[in-house]
């Protein structure tokens, strides 16, 4: 039984590696507990998997509810104030917050990141954030981390965003390049897209 289980796990890993190099990977667990992997999902029960620095995870999705624009306006003064303190473009903070939480101060990821800028416990502690759900503290902590990363990676925004998503260690591990994690690569593109949009739409 143990050998069969081991064989199944190895086959599962090989399938993921093979599929990930060619197409998106989706997983479905049926009522019997069987795991089905495919690159062509046939119904909404399939969940897309992405390779992150923590391993394979379901893609994180935030829904833009009716409070999205309301919260953007609500937190804008704080975002601008904090951006000025740390000499960051307020449009960059808006872009990161949009990608991270869609302005939901109570957002929690499966990895345990919390708040507007999705701070992990270690990052919050590192930058003196005692309450990650507090919008102002959260923005301060995330902004201080961005300022640190900008200095660490010589203002290379793509590397900064990759480090914010996957960790500075992951960027260093791959020779100061964006790690080969689909989630991270998509994240960098998404934030830059929002950043460009806000630079032209926010005064």
Catalytic residues: 100
Q: Starting from the edge strand earliest in sequence, which strands make up the sheet with 55-58, in order?
A: 35-38, 25-29, 47-52, 55-58
Structure tokens that stand for 6 in this block: 């081991």
Residue 76 CB coordination number (10 Å):
15
Cα distances (angstroms) measured from residue 38 to each of 41, 138, 170:
6, 38, 28
How many whole angstroms separate alpha carbon 153 and alpha carbon 26?
34
Whether the CB-CB separation of 105 and 115 falls below 8 Å is answered with yes
Q: Write out the H or E segment, with its range, that includes residue 27.
A: strand 25-29
Whether the CB-CB separation of 55 and 179 falls below 8 Å is answered with no
Whether the CB-CB separation of 114 and 134 falls below 8 Å is answered with no
């Amino acid at each position: 039984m143990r050998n069969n289980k081991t064989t199944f796990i190895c086959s599962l890993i090989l399938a993921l590696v093979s599929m990930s190099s060619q197409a998106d990977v989706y997983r479905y667990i049926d009522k019997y507990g069987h795991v089905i992997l495919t690159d062509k999902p046939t119904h909404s029960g399939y969940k897309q998997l992405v390779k992150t620095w923590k391993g394979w995870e379901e893609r994180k999705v935030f829904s833009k509810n009716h409070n999205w624009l309301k919260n953007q306006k609500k937190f804008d003064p704080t975002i601008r104030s904090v951006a000025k303190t740390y000499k960051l473009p307020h449009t960059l903070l808006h872009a990161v917050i949009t990608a991270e939480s869609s302005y939901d101060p109570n957002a929690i990821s499966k990895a345990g990141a919390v708040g507007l800028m999705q701070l992990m416990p270690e990052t919050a502690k590192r930058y003196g954030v005692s309450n990650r759900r507090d919008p102002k503290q959260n923005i301060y902590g995330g902004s201080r981390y961005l300022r640190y990363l900008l200095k660490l990676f010589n203002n290379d925004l793509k590397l900064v965003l990759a480090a914010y998503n996957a960790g500075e260690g992951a960027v260093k591990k791959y020779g100061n390049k964006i790690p080969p994690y689909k989630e991270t690569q998509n994240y960098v593109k998404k934030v830059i897209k929002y950043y460009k949009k806000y630079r032209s739409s926010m005064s």
